[in-house]
Amino acid sequence: MNVTGATRLFGLVGHPVRHSLSPAMHNRLFAALGIDAVYVAFDVAPDRAGAVADAIRTLDVHGCNLTVPFKGAVFGHLDRVTRAAEEALAANVIIQHHGFLTGYNTDGEGFVRSFEEELGPLPAGCRAVVLGSGGAGRAIAAALADRGAERIVLLNRSVEQAEDAAAHLRRYFPGVHLEAGPLTRTGFVHAARGAHLAVNCTAGPARAMIEAMPVPEALPRTAPWCDINYWMPAPPHVAALRAEGRPTLEGLGMLVHQGALSFELFTGLPVGTPMLRALLTDGV
């Protein structure tokens, strides 16, 4: 890669971000398509969230992805946000044009496309359990509601945060039954009754709590267990459920579809997900 003064800059803002596959994915795409651009990871201290938007403008970063804990923290500093970002109250993609920042959210769409590609269409009148009510949880709940979900239960360690998320989403989806509950064994057992799928959107620190959930016993056998944490080598419950022949979904597919959506926002060029998946799995 020959970086010059004309090379466009893209990146990922988060903490931590050193484990991310996004730089490898986007830089390989730039190289494969002959685009003069580079994508880097910016590991930013969480207390600097208020400075991120101005840094993007000042350094002329053409576009960036946001991950934990910046999806919501930077939201109020943007000039415009899309409907999907409004629903999630979070942006995971920012496009900069002459200092004007537009926030997008591809989490929900990336998840749904991955689910449909690997497991087939979402069930009609879907009943879902979403573990975690942060930016990714809200985005995925919104995408499921937009696809006709009938009932969505948001579970969170802070029930108040889950209730706020449910109340916010009701304004956009008044016909969907949105509930909030505690992220506990009892809360999961109650929410999982009759569910068509469950999605773990909690971050790494909650791993022990998720491992303690009675997922194999409480979740209906035909309901997929989905975990969006693609960077975990062994996400909770996935191996045990697969050993029983039960449906599961890991986060790499969501990353691939998010990457395709982000790349198109960055460059205007659509890219096939098979190509992206091959780039990610070949030597990464």
Which residues are the active-site residues? 71
Measured CA to CA, the distance from residue 17 to residue 189 in angstroms comes to 33
Measured CA to CA, the distance from residue 198 to residue 176 in angstroms comes to 17
C-beta separation of 181 from 152 below 8 A:
no
Q: Which residue has the tokens 């999605």?
A: 199
Measured in whole angstroms, the distance separating CA 230 from the mean position of its chain's CA atoms is: 10
- How many helices, marked H, and strands, marked E, lie in the chain? 13, 12
β-partners of residue 200 are: 131, 227
φ, ψ at 201 (rounded to 5°): -110, 10
Measured CA to CA, the distance from residue 178 to residue 163 in angstroms comes to 9
Measured in whole angstroms, the distance separating CA 191 from the mean position of its chain's CA atoms is: 22
Measured CA to CA, the distance from residue 248 to residue 198 in angstroms comes to 10
Measured CA to CA, the distance from residue 184 to residue 89 in angstroms comes to 25
